[in-house]
Amino acid sequence: MTATRAARHRMPGRLVAGGASAVLVATVAMVIALYAAGSEPQGNDDGLGGPGAVAEWLLPMFRLLATMATVGCAGALLAAVVLLRTDGGPLGLQGRRAIRDASNSAIIWAFAAFAGALLTAAILLNTPVGLLRLRLDDALGVPEVKALLITGILVVALAIGVRRVETSSAAGLGVLVAIAALIPPALTSYPRNESYVVLAGAALIIHVIAATSWVGGLAGLVRYGRASRNGLPLVLERFSQVALASSIALLLSGLVSAAGRLAAKGGGFGSVFDALTADAYGGLLLAKTVAFIVLITGGWLHRRHTIGGLETIGNRFWQLVAGELVIMAIAIGLSVALAQTI
């Protein structure tokens, strides 16, 4: 067996191990953050037969799984459309591999979205999961549930439709579907109608898309750029452009979104600072902000000194990238904890 074929056979195992490690790191960060903020699920002790502590813990777990699968799907699609771009022509070996990975990740994403819809309905209606069939109309009337179901349906269509895509231009349609699937849950994150919350909701949509593009793009760089050493400098240059645009959009939209959430908690923009320092939500928000500032600064310095010297830097480059992915996994865990803390 040649070295190339041997590496090809090792890659799925490395992919699974890497994905499992990222999920583990994000899970640990999420659980620690939930307990630190006092937002861990408490279960239902009122004797009325609510969903129970297991269901309440499963909800953030499935949110985390959905987020990680979204990152995997986005990274694979970005690799096929941008990082490994062929100007609309046929996909190469790595491009076809990226499309298969995107489809597989979309299946996990859809499963997590549907499971999240079920658990969300049970928790918001205070009904055991096994009895939701008796309140189906009520469950389908919950905006958060409808949003997750729409996302699940879109992602199932993505998983099926992108499976046999053969050109980068066709894969671009998959990117549009993936973006559309990100929007419904973001739209239901703000149940109030104040103008500053509407603005924050719009910013959150941009924030989610930018974060997914950045984190997914880095994951795609590791997965597909490393397998193509000759084309790595070009792939890295393309990713740097994606990372720059995504990080700017992420910071700006994150500031607006956070200000809206804090204004909603405090009763207006004038109380944003007080809300930031008054409870656990502000602490988690600051921790997440620090994580992304570290990522932006480290990523900029990292690529500034390595794009032109990949041949001499070798494994140190990939070790630094692995460090970035660990910090990103922690930030994702904090994000899920933030959503649970609201």
Domain residue spans of the chain: 49-188, 195-342
Q: pLDDT band at 194, cuts 50/70/90?
A: low
Nearest to 216 by CA among 254, 184, 178: 178
Check whether 136 has a pLDDT greater than 70: yes
Average pLDDT value for residue range 71-90: 82
Q: Which residues face 216 on adjacent strands?
A: none
Average pLDDT value for residue range 308-316: 57
Nearest to 30 by CA among 73, 65, 71, 78: 65
* Minimum mean pLDDT range among 45-49, 134-138, 305-309: 45-49
* Minimum mean pLDDT range among 74-88, 92-106, 192-206: 192-206
Comparison of pLDDT for 15 and 292, the residue scoring more: 292
* Minimum mean pLDDT range among 14-18, 87-91, 115-119: 14-18
Average pLDDT value for residue range 117-138: 91
CA atoms within 13 A on the CB side of 275: 18
Q: What is the pTM of this model?
A: 0.84
CA dist 340 and 39 (Å) reads 7
CA dist 78 and 218 (Å) reads 10
| CA distance from start to end of the chain | 54
Q: Which residues face 167 on adjacent strands?
A: 90
Residues 6+ apart with CB under 8 A from 309: none
Q: pLDDT band at 47, cuts 50/70/90?
A: very low
Q: Could you tell me if residue 120 is left (phi over 0), alpha (psi between -120 and 50 degrees) or otherwise beta? A: alpha
Q: Write the single-letter amino acid at 221.
A: L
pLDDT tens per residue across span 256-267: 887 777 776 666
Comparison of pLDDT for 70 and 289, the residue scoring more: 70
Q: Count CB-CB contacts under 10 A for residue 313.
A: 15
Q: Which residues face 90 on adjacent strands?
A: 167
